[in-house]
Amino acid sequence: MRLDGLNKEQMEAVVNTKGPLLILAGAGSGKTRVLTHRVAYLIEEEGVDPFHIMAITFTNKAAKEMRTRVDDLVGYGSENIWVATFHSTCVRILRRFIDRLGYSNHFIIYDTDDQKAVLKEVYKYLQIDSKQLPEKSALAEISKAKDSFLSPSEYERQARGDYQKTRIAQVYAEYQKRLRGNDALDFDDLLVKTVELFQFHPDVLEIFQERFQYIMVDEYQDTNHVQFLLIHQLASKYRNLCVVGDDDQSIYKFRGANIYNILDFEKEFPDTKVIKLEQNYRSTKNILAAANEVIKNNHARKDKRLWCENEEGELVHFRQYENEYEEGEYVAAEIDRMVQNHGVSYNDFAVLYRTNAQSRIIEEKLLMNNIPYKIVGGQNFYGRKEIKDLICYLKTICNGRDDLAVKRILNVPKRGIGATTVSKVEQYAQDRGIDFYQALMEAENITSLGKALGKIQEFCDLIQEFKQNLNPYQLDELLDEILEKTGYAKELEEENTEESRGRLENIDEFRNKIVDYLEKNDEPTLEELLEEIALVAEIDGYDESQPSVVLMTFHSAKGLEFPHVFMVGMEEGLFPSYMTIVSGSNEELEEERRLCYVGITRAREKLCLSCAKRRMVHGETRFSKVSRFVGEIPEGLMEQGKKAVSGSKVEKPKRGNAKIGFVNQNPYQKKEFSGIKETTLDYQVGDTVKHIKFGIGIVNEIVSGGRDYEVTVDFENAGTKKMFASFAKLKKVEE
């Protein structure tokens, strides 16, 4: 077979077919090519029967791609090669032998909805209040236990002394009991039961050890403990195990991935041969050098350094802006400039961010510039469930005439108002020609409602209370009141899962939107706010078949590549995250750095990093330092604002007032106010001032924050607030 298309290291990885092999495949180093050629080499040169070859991937998409490539390369006989995901592999094994564990070979596989239904039964049986122990939290903890191959009894033993985990242990035990009674497995069980099958029935294990004499595992850095056990069992006889992965791209710890599976591979298999694929075929030399400089700061990693034969390319662009709005304008303006002046396609651009909530401003700026986009791994900001829920609350408070909005929130959070009740109210409204909310207000006239009447009246009382207390200048406080009095935020906080935390971040970003609206409007109204949101949220008009800029989180970007990549929000507290910094965990910080490395290595030709001096968080404007990850890129590789290392002039974005900063300085250090800079304030420390929202207060401090002044005011009713003079629009009160 032809191997002349492979480089030296790739060829070495292909021809080393005996014994354990660890292929450390850097980003863009052609690992899929190596795997498929390795399969072909085993068959054509080593004479291995395709029946004895196994290749495991993580996703159906990856398995399909590998299957296609292998078929094209091998041809006849390739259908006998086992190419599958972990889960599909386990299903095929269990269908034959799970009766050894007391299940039927026709067992049922439960999806997420099935799991939730079972858990509801468990909660009812154990008399557990879901408000005290949210169901999603319990399911997440059970999944985590299974990833670690912990049985209910082992989990219970480890949980002793922890009341919450002891309760989860009871739920876990009863949950498994009911699954077994239903002859059902959830997705985690597929792996756990296969490992148990091999553990307790060595004759079955031997059958598959004989079948899979040559095993290859892709993305090995993403395996969890139970997946490690499964692979170890299968490979323990012939030991022809080849694992491919990149410890520098291990970013799924929150899903159970254990980076030490790849870091400690040689400890499990002492005679392992290690081959490093360090030649990158994707990016320019400058981009790779930046990636290397960042990732070398991690200690828990295998030593390697990406290189390429591509051109030097542009320096990494770094820009720092006054706020997140200028940052968003820069992204939109730069994309527009490149498309209009350089003939590139919108498809060539990706905007990466740490959290989904960050997409809101980028979306708005792209829409304002008529730039088509699509979001990978999520909905547009205003289409997300929690945001739509809250918008529907605001719509109902505003006028109550939007029947769809009222119906959406009538039982959100759950109030015990079901579909039958809704139908009865709908019929009443239709018979009298009134809107749905008015029918709810007259619900006492609907005699068939029974106990649901009280629930409806509670809902109407709550909405009427919001209406009566409505103050257009305090719409952010209205949002907080909705979240508190409905229990919406509390429910998400108690759930305490990755998903619920993401939803809370989105809600915080929605609060930022409201605060921003209030600061920019002297006479705000709820109607105008909803109208503004509706205009921005209308993104369904563009044709998805047309080229579009891609927006996604760093996690979603893994495995993809783009000619031009924007990494936004490169600030301490955002990336790395605030929780990572507060935890003080070096392990958590290194995972964040690996995530940054993944982002950098997505870029082929141009990489742009940006951050904001101040960003609205939880409805308040905060200063932030430049991310340490930006600071880890040497000057010689990065164009830092006005000081372009290449000597060329930095191209400014369309807005001319964006202030550029430098990573080797602290652009946020406050300087004492010492006179007039760019604007004149008609008040000073000690003066009494009036704010359109917070009322009367006394100025305590004025400090310079760059192009603006940060003013601290002690308000009579609202307490102490810090704000920027240009936004606050404080008026001096003459005594």
Question: Which of the residues 57, 221, 249, 580 is marked catalytic?
Answer: 249
- Of 485, 484, 504, 482, nearest to 493 by C-alpha is 504
Q: Where are the beta strands (DSSP E) in 257-412?
A: 273-277, 316-323, 349-353, 373-375
Give the tokens for residue 268.
């499990």
Question: Which of the residues 189, 218, 605, 708 is marked catalytic?
Answer: 218
Give the tokens for residue 297.
């700061």
Vertex 555: Cα angle to 552 and 558 (nearest 5): 95
Cα 723 to the center of its chain, rounded Å: 30
The reply to whether 218 belongs to the active site is yes
Q: Is 300 helix (H, G, I), strand (E, B) or coil?
A: coil
- SS3 of the chain: helix, strand, coil, percent, to 5: 50, 15, 35
| Alpha-carbon distance values, 149 to 180, 191, 194, 579 (Å) | 17, 9, 11, 28
Question: In the block, which residue shows the tokens 């109030």?
Answer: 415
Give the tokens for residue 355.
């959290």
| Stretch (H or E) spanning 38 | helix 31-44
The reply to whether 32 belongs to the active site is yes
Q: Where are the beta strands (DSSP E) in 65-199?
A: 82-85, 108-109, 184-185
The reply to whether 131 belongs to the active site is no
The reply to whether 4 belongs to the active site is no
Contact 663, 626 (CB under 8 A): yes
Q: How many other CB atoms are found less than 10 A from the CB of residue 508?
A: 15
| Stretch (H or E) spanning 672 | strand 671-672
Q: Which residues have C-beta within 8 Å of that of residue 587, sequence separation ≥ 6?
A: 300
Distance CA(53)–CA(35), nearest Å, equals 12
Cα 683 to the center of its chain, rounded Å: 44
| Alpha-carbon distance values, 77 to 1, 40, 67, 72, 215 (Å) | 16, 11, 12, 11, 17
Q: Is 228 exposed, middle or buried (0-12, 13-18, 19+ CB in 10 A)?
A: buried
Pairing between strand 108-109 and 82-85? unpaired
The reply to whether 221 belongs to the active site is no
Contact 291, 27 (CB under 8 A): yes
Question: Which of the residues 10, 31, 147, 176 is marked catalytic?
Answer: 31
Distance CA(336)–CA(321), nearest Å, equals 19
Distance CA(20)–CA(269), nearest Å, equals 7
Question: Which of the residues 282, 360, 593, 602 is marked catalytic?
Answer: 602
Kindly write down the DSSP assignment for every residue of 602-643, as one continuous string.
Answer: TEEEEEEEEEEEEEEETTEEEE-PBPHHHHTS-GGGEEETTB
Distance CA(577)–CA(298), nearest Å, equals 17
Give the tokens for residue 478.
């209205």
Distance CA(597)–CA(599), nearest Å, equals 5
Q: Where are the alpha helices (DSSP H) in 243-370?
A: 260-263, 265-268, 285-295, 324-342, 359-368
Distance CA(195)–CA(205), nearest Å, equals 9
| Stretch (H or E) spanning 696 | strand 695-704
Contact 565, 352 (CB under 8 A): yes
Give the tokens for residue 30.
């052609």
Question: In the block, which residue shows the tokens 């799991």?
Answer: 115
Vertex 304: Cα angle to 39 and 280 (nearest 5): 60
| Alpha-carbon distance values, 625 to 15, 235, 309 (Å) | 49, 49, 35
Give the tokens for residue 432.
């009298």
Contact 603, 287 (CB under 8 A): yes
The reply to whether 587 belongs to the active site is no
For residue 128, what is the DSSP state? Answer: -
Residues with catalytic annotation?
31-32, 218-219, 249, 602
